[in-house]
Structure 1
């Protein structure tokens, strides 16, 4: 087997190893035992049947009870929705800049939904009662708050909610929002009761059941995402159902004590909601699942505050609810939210995916077309690895020149493989050739390829990103096929999961197969018939296999193959070996003579 063929086999094997390795996830961290705190337990473990339940206890209330409560409108350049005065819930939020499909008439993306609707998903804030207080003394998820009539939350006008418990405690909640997706929630309480009281502020994000659009794909994390003392933590929905049950109410939870650098929430493919205490603020991050009502929730519970008579306490936390835009989240991180950019699922190769996406983002900002940006990124990557590629292809050209001498060595050594290996190593040393040099571009290309696959699959910026003609979503498979005359007819290609998709393959996968096939023709076919058959089929197998991949990734691979072909041809030719491309193509169509029977 010559070295080029060995390198191709090695690439195939390594690709399989990476695919298998990627399917494993890091084990979830061991739960941290939190010290006892009556306020926390009361708020988060209140009986589900109690009307005063403070967390998601009343989340199963009929839709009418939530939707018919008074509401305050939310209106900004990028979001719209409303806040329910029942519980002061932020439970109605839509993203103006994003639609559900490419159709310009399709609905805009809904981020949060009230209890009672399908895929209910909302936030709650409140105070957990401590010493000297009972459940009736603090606002609950059912409390009807007061607010100025016709108040509307905008970037320029916060809204303030208030509630008096009738026993001397006055609670207020001021909500503001910026031009993007960040809410600031300031909770305050004034103690006019004449006695010392203790209570703890908290925030909750609740989801009723798993999201209906859950992808459950190994390359994408969906579920809980959080930062605790600088350490990123991720939990799938299935992980939450494995928590140890609380004997008091059967709910399952994991509690993490955070001293600084912390936030927690839920992440979807492109959207996210996150509770963010102030930087340096200690709190308890709680991931919880209530099997009785099929409710998933995350909570941030701040330390208990003790208020003497006449004192006032105030705390401000943040809520991110919106699209996982790289530039927007990066700005929040630069504004003081530690590690917030890690809320985007960069994966195991984060040291590659982060800079790759940053480069893609800036190239796209300059060019204005994501498909061309991918081509530009491919050229940039090929330039960066060119020194290694040069050494590799130069070594391969030298190996081709040494083929006659190597054949003589084989004839002299006969069946003495040890002697043949010894003489070959001496030949390599004398001619200053490294037979393993051809592997270097392949070894580098594999993690780059999977990193780009990750970037294209998980980042919002590729969603609905157009290229040209029928290619209007580079995060989706090629929409063309013979079925629609490669985009000329006004209907789509067969769905990727359909068996028809195998027969009606698109333009880009076909170009990919051709580019791989031409790249093979830089070298003669292997003399071994089995190897020759494997390599003959490989481009077409990849063509069909990658037909269902994101078209942006196929654009990258086609461009990479074309550049690699040109590089290899020119470098090998400059070192005295001219690949006989047309001869190799011609030979691949010639029938081999049948072996005579003995």
Structure 2
């Protein structure tokens, strides 16, 4: 889990770093050269522009394309969250197993790995399944990120409500960070001590990045996080779990 957290943070930081490079701040056109431009960035720009023509503004176009992309990625995201949920459910067993085979000698550790693999096989859990969807999503999300950044150079993307999309918006940045906190609070982080670190780091990072990047990117984060919250509510049922915990606490007090 720590490796997965480190991977997510590294990729996020890398995305923001590359967004500041001059190569990614160049205008984007239909005849822009390069595989990335032709087959990733420009198609996304075209899609946003198409929805802008239909809905009236680039802001609504960005919202529409964000929803479409997240719906396309939804099966992968559901697979990822379900994998995380199953791993979370077997943590007490793995903790007990680790305590049972706490000796560091090679024979004991080999037995520990065999028992752990047996538990995962019986529950049909693949540890890599939780990381693979993240890696598959990154090129698409990274492309959308740069499509918005480079549209800001090529077009006058206007406003969304009262927010100027080409300029940073602290309000949208804070909202995006708050929504990210809710995403993590309603997901696996609420019961996983290791992921609780991410629950505080990721929203803070988004608030910082959103404070100096175009508001269009904060808008993308806000819409994407709303979809993630809805997804978490259906998969993790956090509110139902809190009700069960309150009943247990009430029972103990009696």
Q: What range describes the TM-score normalised by the shorter chain of this pair? A: 0.7 to 0.9
Which of 409, 412, 418 is the matching residue for 2:97?
Answer: 409
1:214-363 aligned at under 5 Å gives the runs 217-221=22-26, 269=27, 341-343=30-32, 348=36, 350-363=38-51
The equivalent of 2:229 in structure 1 is 565
Q: Indicate the structure (1 or 2) with the bigger Cα radius of gyration.
A: 1
CA distance in 2: counterparts of 1:578 and 1:7, whole angstroms: 28
Whole-Å separation in 2 of the counterparts to 1:577 and 1:11: 27
Is 1:424 matched up with 2:116?
yes
Give the one of 501, 509, 512 matched to 2:173: 509
SS at match of 1:359: helix
Deviation at 1:379, TM superposition (A): 1.0
> Is this contact kept in 2: 1:397–1:577, CA < 8 A?
no
- Distance of aligned partners of 1:371 and 1:464 in 2 relative to their CA distance in 1, 3 Å threshold: closer
Q: 2:137 aligns with which of 445, 456, 462?
A: 445
Question: When you count helix as a share of all residues, which structure comes out higher?
Answer: 2
Higher RCO (C-alpha under 8 Å, 6+ residues apart): 2
CA distance in 2, matches of 1:439, 1:216: 28
Distance verdict in 2 for CA 1:545–1:418, change over 3 Å: farther
TM-score between both structures, scaled by the size of structure 1: 0.36
Give the CA deviation at 1:462. 4.3
Deviation at 1:475, TM superposition (A): 2.3
- 1:524 corresponds to: 190
The answer for the alignment partner of 2:127 in structure 1 is 435
Q: Which secondary structure state, in structure 2, belongs to the residue aligned with residue 475 of structure 1?
A: coil
Structure 2: stretches of 5+ with no match in the other structure: 246-254
1:68 paired residue number: none
- Alignment partner, residue 380 of structure 1: 68
SS where residue 385 of structure 1 aligns? helix
> 4+ residue stretches of structure 1 with deviation over 6 A?
none
1:391 has 2:79 as partner: yes
Match of 2:181, SS state, is: helix
Q: What is the distance in 2 between the residues matched to 1:534 and 1:568?
A: 16
| CA shift for structure 1 position 464 | 4.1
2:159 counterpart SS class = coil
**CA 1:555–1:18: 2 relative to 1, 3 Å:** closer
Unaligned runs of 5+ in 1: 24-214, 222-268, 270-323, 327-340, 479-505, 584-598
Indicate yes or no: 2:132 matched with 1:466. no
Verify the 8 A CA contact 1:7 1:439 in the aligned structure 2: yes
Q: Distance in 1 between matches of 2:229 and 2:223?
A: 10
- After TM superposition, the structure 1 stretch with the greater mean CA deviation from structure 2, 414-423 or 509-518, is 414-423
CA contact (8 A) 1:370 1:465 kept: yes
How far the C-alpha of 1:560 sits from its partner, in A, is 0.8
Change (3 A) 1:507 1:429: same
Change (3 A) 1:579 1:11: farther
Partner of 1:545: 209
Structure 1 pair 410–430 and aligned structure 2 pair: CA distance change class (3 A): same
Cα distance change, pair 567–533 in 1 and its aligned pair in 2 (3 A): closer
Partner SS for 1:436: helix
CA contact (8 A) 1:359 1:377 kept: yes
**1:454 shift after superposition:** 1.8
Measured after TM superposition, the shift of residue 540 of structure 1 is 1.6
Distance in 2 between residues matched to 1:464 and 1:17, nearest whole Å: 25
Quote the offset at 1:525 in angstroms.
Answer: 6.2
Equivalents in 1 of 2:14, 2:241: separation in Å?
A: 31
User: 2:56 & 2:100 partners in 1: Cα distance?
Assistant: 62
Greater strand share, structure number = 1
Q: Which whole-Å CA distance do the structure 2 matches of 1:442 and 1:462 have between them?
A: 31
Shift in CA distance, 440/365, structure 1 to aligned 2, threshold 3 Å: farther
Q: Secondary structure at the match of 1:342?
A: coil
Number of residue pairs aligned between Structure 1 and Structure 2: 237
CA gap 1:398/1:537 in 2 versus in 1, 3 angstroms? closer
Question: Structure 2 vs 1, CA of residues 556 and 571 (structure 1 numbering), >3 Å: closer, same or farther?
Answer: same
Which residue is 1:457 aligned to? 149
State how far apart, in whole Å, the 2-side matches of 1:379 and 1:567 are: 13
Q: Is the 2:52–2:58 Cα contact (8 Å) retained in structure 1?
A: yes
Relative distance call for 1:532 and 1:380 in structure 2 (3 A) is closer
